Structure 1
């Protein structure tokens, strides 16, 4: 069952990227709709990676440790920690209070890559559109 959920989350992440690429190709890149799409892509990445961390944690694959210990608590407490870690990883380099281990390091690396590449894409595309207009 976990494999199907994980595959569904990965599918959603891929579709979010596809939607962003379509918005970039439209031409009116800084429209209100485009800003909303970029925000939704960020949210989908944040939630998608958090669900991957949580799914692995629930199947006893330790991917995150908090203060040197495995994540403890109820399902919702673990979910909160995974969402927090995902947000910190996507928007910054992290604080170090929750640390990825094992396969979690690779997931965090991929998430951080997307967190850095999305704003770069927006700036690059905007500069290209400005130069085309001159």
Structure 2
């Protein structure tokens, strides 16, 4: 696979994370109790899935470039492409949701990326609640 394509994938992944946060910050809840809660849930799931897949893509691109970022049972994650995709998506979900089982661990640059992703996992719900409360307070006034 050409390196320019991998770099393009990294760019798209980073752009997806940024766009998800902008979407979350510009989100305007609808009137009505049930519409707000269902729409809120759909928006939050959309942002979480986008961020999870974007970070998974970053991990995968780095692995395909030959930069080891994840290790499983004292060996680098890899092998078949299908196995790599499953491992990076799994690790991304576990890191973003702050579960952290420890069966796959970051190494090298992957540690920095995992820290950033964990920070996103903590900030997403807070940003979501803050923007929702601010928008609802503005509607009341």
Question: Normalised by the size of structure 2, how large is the TM-score?
Answer: 0.82
Shift of 1:11: 1.0
CA distance in 1, matches of 2:64, 2:98: 26
| 1:16 equivalenced with 2:20 (yes/no) | yes
User: How many residues align structurally?
Assistant: 132
Residues 43 and 19 (structure 1 numbering): CA distance in 2 closer, same or farther, change over 3 Å? same
Equivalent in 48, 54, 58 of residue 60 of structure 2: 54
CA distance in 2, matches of 1:98, 1:4: 26
CA RMSD after TM alignment = 2.1
Q: Which runs of 5+ in 2 are unaligned?
A: none
Ranked by relative contact order (alpha carbons within 8 Å, sequence separation 6 or more), the top structure is: 2
Q: Which runs of 5+ in 1 are unaligned?
A: none
Is contact 2:25-2:131 (8 Å) kept?
A: no
Shift of 1:12: 1.4
Helix, strand or coil for the counterpart of 1:99?
strand
CA distance in 1, matches of 2:83, 2:55: 16
Shift of 1:32: 2.6
Q: What's the counterpart of residue 38 of structure 1?
A: 44
| 1:5 equivalenced with 2:9 (yes/no) | yes
Question: Normalised by the size of structure 1, how large is the TM-score?
Answer: 0.86
CA distance in 2, matches of 1:98, 1:54: 14
| 1:102 equivalenced with 2:111 (yes/no) | no
